[in-house]
Amino acid sequence: MSTDIARVDINFDQDVVATRQQARLIAEMLGFDRQDQARIATAVSEIASNTLQYGQGGVATFFIEGVESSEYFTISICDHGPGIEDLDAILEGRYMSSTGMGQGIVASKRLLPDHFHIDSKLGQGTTVTLGKWLPVTASPATLEGIKKALAELRAESPLEAIRSQNHELLAALELIRQRDEELRRVNQELIETNIGIVALYNELDDKTQRLQKTEQMLLKHNEELKGFAYTVAHDLKAPLRGITGYAQELAIKHKTGLSERALFCLSQIISANRNLDNLIEDLLNFVRMDTEAAPLFVEVDLGSLIKELLKDRNLIITELHVEVTVDIPLITLHTWECGLAQVLANLIDNAIKFSGKADPPRISIRAEDIKACYRIIVSDNGVGFDMKYSERIYGLFNRLVRTEEFEGTGAGLAIVKKILDKLGGSIRAEAQPGLGATFYVELPKSEIRNPKSEIRNPKSEIRNPKSEIRNKVLRNDFSTKEWFC
Amino acid sequence: MDHIPIIKVGEFLLVSIQVDMHDRLAMRLQDDLTTQLIKTRAQGVLIDISSLDIVDSFIGRMIGNIASMMSILGAETVVVGMRPAVAITIVELGLSLSNVRTALNVDKGIGLLRVLVNSIGNEGSRHDNYQK
């Protein structure tokens, strides 16, 4: 059984004095006579001096060891110095250092022969344990009393106060040093990361420049192509007008001199010309989609727009006995009116055209407000098409049916797609051959790609808080990019 | 305390160690004493250790060293006021302070110093004469 009484750090000269004073004090309180007090204090002083001088400082612990009636006062002094090289020689008194180290150990062993133990490992430190039997005659003060008395002494001593403050300071310094170390490490990591980022950024920059170059080239090519298409369309129209003019003149003014066959040929020429003219017109429209500046965005009431479109087609609807179903809730779109009208007109025309041979032809136009966008659905019960062509139908001049069966140039859906691209919308189709086709057009609730329109129409922004949020998100994105630069 | 005071009394230096000395303080005392001895041309040194509870091997050696240095510098050293416990400890430690003269108290110490200095002084003058 052992009971700790006190602990003293040995780091400075003053600590050696404090340690031996502590040893003497405790010895006195434990009831040792003056001579033994002097022995214990001297032996402790010898070892503590060695600890400071050779062991780079250490700790002295005072405690009582052993069972009752054979207890002894023990002082253990341990350091973490280099250890003692030739311990046996020192203990046998064969060795004596010039500075008196061996002398100290031997001397203390001589002073306290009851218990003397020395444990030294090279490179790990030395622990010296000194002990003396507690005197039987004297009545030792209780351990609690000793501890209390020591604590009081410590509180009174200004040196002790400075020492404890010093300890705190050292601990704080150590903490700061550790933090500093950590900071340096993190900093190093950051620097490395930064180097990586810079390298990545450079790479990105390279790629961006290449992309920009490619984009510019593409834009130039596109521009050239557009000009080319426009010129071709215009130049084609002029001779076409001549051919039509002359053919009509022949058919009207010189009708009498012509055989029936010649008149038939003329009507075929005029009809073919009309088709060609339509084709060129569509081509021009298609090209115009790209060349036109940003379209004007206005408030459009979907219901009345569709009503208008159906009114224009009243004649053909009545003629073909088409059953038209319209189910449009109150939807106001902020969009490019001409473009939307063209999209819907094309889809309705297609529906009427391709359902023409059904009995009875039915078309339906519906609209719904789904969360993210508005959806317009145009369906018919006409010839339909195979779903494997569902992407091909949007190609320019791509036709799934022959002109003899259904008139048309094959530009309609291509134009529809192009306009929807401009509006930020989308189109998809569902169809089955012989059972009809359904086209779904989806339009965004507010055109976010065209900030100009928002300036022109601030109301729409107020009415549509979502768009505001989206715009904010977009702006944030920009600021993030700036930050990265 | 940084220094142990050294007082000149007549032709002697008086050192009274009132604090528990740590090793550095003991070294400094050694230096201070030699310096003062030269400066004051004192002929004897009296070291009072009556306040010391313990004398460990380092301090013991230091006292021995001081005595030897003083002797070389032509002065006598007397240590006075050693406690009985200290005396026993010194013997048990195996320290032989053979070159240190001791006396029971300051009075007897000064007396001893006078005797020593006078006898050496006579020798010293004889020595001087011999050189002439």
- What are A380's two structure tokens? 């018919």
User: What are the distances in angstroms from CA A370 to CA A334, A375, A442, A479?
Assistant: 16, 7, 9, 31
Evaluate whether residue A165 is within a structural domain: no
CB contact under 8 A, B57 and A39: no
Evaluate whether residue A163 is within a structural domain: no
Residues A194, A236 within the same domain:
yes
**Mind giving me the DSSP string for A231-260?**
HHHHHHHHHHHHHHHHHHHHHHHT-TTS-H
First and final C-alpha spacing in chain B: 47
- What are A111's two structure tokens? 């002073």
* Residue in A16, A24, A42 nearest the CB of B93: A42
CB < 8 Å to B83, chain A: 38
Q: Does A48 touch chain B (CB under 8 A)?
A: no
Residue A125 main-chain phi, psi, to 5 deg: 125, 175
Chains A & B: contacts with CB separation below 8 Å: 70
CB < 8 Å to A46, chain B: 56-58
Evaluate whether residue A170 is within a structural domain: no
The residues near B16 (Cβ < 8 Å, ≥ 6 apart) are B4, B5, B7, B48, B50, B51
Kind of pairing between the strands at A323-327 and A297-301: unpaired
Domains of chain B are 6-131 (3.30.750.24)
Residues A119, A35 within the same domain:
yes
Which of A91, A124, A156 lies at the terminal end of a domain, its last residue?
A: A156
Residues A179, A261 within the same domain:
yes
Q: Mind listing the pLDDT tens digit of every residue in chain A (485 residues)?
A: 567 788 888 888 888 888 888 898 888 888 888 888 999 999 999 889 888 888 888 899 998 887 777 788 899 999 888 888 777 777 776 766 655 556 778 888 888 888 888 888 888 888 999 998 888 765 555 777 788 888 777 777 777 778 778 888 999 999 999 999 999 999 999 999 999 999 999 999 999 999 999 999 999 988 888 788 778 777 888 888 888 898 888 888 888 888 888 888 888 888 888 888 887 887 777 777 766 656 677 888 888 888 888 888 888 888 888 888 888 888 888 888 878 888 888 888 888 888 888 888 888 999 988 888 889 999 998 888 888 888 888 877 777 777 667 777 777 888 888 888 888 888 988 888 888 889 999 888 864 444 444 444 444 444 444 444 444 444 444 444 444 43
Q: Does B92 touch chain A (CB under 8 A)?
A: yes
Strands (E), B1-132: 6-9, 12-16, 44-48, 76-80, 101-103
Nearest CA in chain B to A49: B23
CB < 8 Å to B21, chain A: 17
- Residues B56 and B73: their CA atoms lie apart, in Å, by 26
Across-strand partners of A473? none
Provide the ipTM.
0.83
Which of A156, A186, A213 lies at the terminal end of a domain, its last residue?
A: A156
Q: Tokens 């009207």 correspond to what residue?
A: A252
Q: Does B29 touch chain A (CB under 8 A)?
A: no
* Residue in B53, B61, B95 nearest the CB of A38: B53
CB contact under 8 A, B92 and A103: no
Closest C-alpha among A407, A391, A396 to residue A284: A396
pLDDT given at position A476: 42
Residues A246, A127 within the same domain:
no
Nearest CA in chain A to B53: A38
> How far is CA A247 from its chain centroid?
69
Residues A218, A148 within the same domain:
no
Q: Do the Cβ atoms of A80 and A124 come closer than 8 Å?
A: yes
Residues A273, A322 within the same domain:
no
Q: B103 pLDDT exceeds 90?
A: yes
The residues near B64 (Cβ < 8 Å, ≥ 6 apart) are B95, B97, B99, B100
Question: Domain of A82: which CATH number?
Answer: 3.30.565.10
The residues near A304 (Cβ < 8 Å, ≥ 6 apart) are none
pLDDT given at position A216: 94
Residues A13, A151 within the same domain:
yes
Residues A315, A329 within the same domain:
yes
Residues A37, A146 within the same domain:
yes
Nearest CA in chain A to B95: A107
Q: Do the Cβ atoms of A297 and A450 come closer than 8 Å?
A: yes
Evaluate whether residue A119 is within a structural domain: yes
pLDDT given at position A465: 46
Residues A127, A20 within the same domain:
yes
Q: How many CB atoms lie within 10 A of CB B132?
A: 4
The residues near A352 (Cβ < 8 Å, ≥ 6 apart) are A313, A316, A317, A320, A322, A361, A363, A380
Q: Does B101 touch chain A (CB under 8 A)?
A: no
Q: Does A54 touch chain B (CB under 8 A)?
A: no
Element (H, E) at B68: helix B57-72
What 3-state class would DSSP assign to A416?
Answer: helix
A interface mutation test: which of B52, B56, B82 has the most A CBs within 10 A?
A: B56
Domain span at residue A237?
Answer: 175-291+456-485
- Residues A412 and A317: their CA atoms lie apart, in Å, by 19
The residues near A122 (Cβ < 8 Å, ≥ 6 apart) are A82, A83, A85
Kindly report the nearest CA distance between residue B55 and chain A, in angstroms.
7
- ∠ CA A356-A361-A367, nearest 5°, is 110
Q: Tokens 């600590």 correspond to what residue?
A: A15
What 3-state class would DSSP assign to A27?
Answer: helix
Q: Does A93 touch chain B (CB under 8 A)?
A: no
Q: How many CB atoms lie within 10 A of CB A10?
A: 25
What 3-state class would DSSP assign to A100?
Answer: coil
Kindly report the nearest CA distance between residue B3 and chain A, in angstroms.
14
Q: Do the Cβ atoms of A409 and A279 come closer than 8 Å?
A: yes
pLDDT given at position A182: 96
Evaluate whether residue A30 is within a structural domain: yes
Structural domain total, chain A: 3
CB contact under 8 A, A13 and B57: no
Evaluate whether residue A323 is within a structural domain: yes
Residues A121, A216 within the same domain:
no
User: For B30-76, what is each residue's pLDDT tens digit?
Assistant: 999 999 999 999 999 999 999 988 888 888 888 999 999 999 998 99
- ∠ CA A182-A187-A189, nearest 5°, is 100
pLDDT given at position A455: 42
CB contact under 8 A, B92 and A21: no
Evaluate whether residue A273 is within a structural domain: yes
Residues A113, A17 within the same domain:
yes
Q: Do the Cβ atoms of A273 and A243 come closer than 8 Å?
A: yes
Q: Which of A268-272, B1-5, B89-93 has the lowest mean pLDDT?
A: B1-5
pLDDT given at position A447: 47
Q: Which of B:46-65 have CB within 8 Å of A?
A: 53-58, 61
Evaluate whether residue A317 is within a structural domain: yes
Nearest CA in chain A to B84: A35
Kind of pairing between the strands at A362-369 and A323-327: parallel
B interface mutation test: which of A8, A35, A50, A105 has the most B CBs within 10 A?
A: A35
User: For A113-161, what is each residue's pLDDT tens digit?
Assistant: 888 888 888 888 889 999 988 887 655 557 777 888 887 777 777 777 7
Closest C-alpha among A50, A174, A27 to residue A107: A50
* Residue in A17, A37, A41 nearest the CB of B22: A17
- Residues A451 and A470: their CA atoms lie apart, in Å, by 12
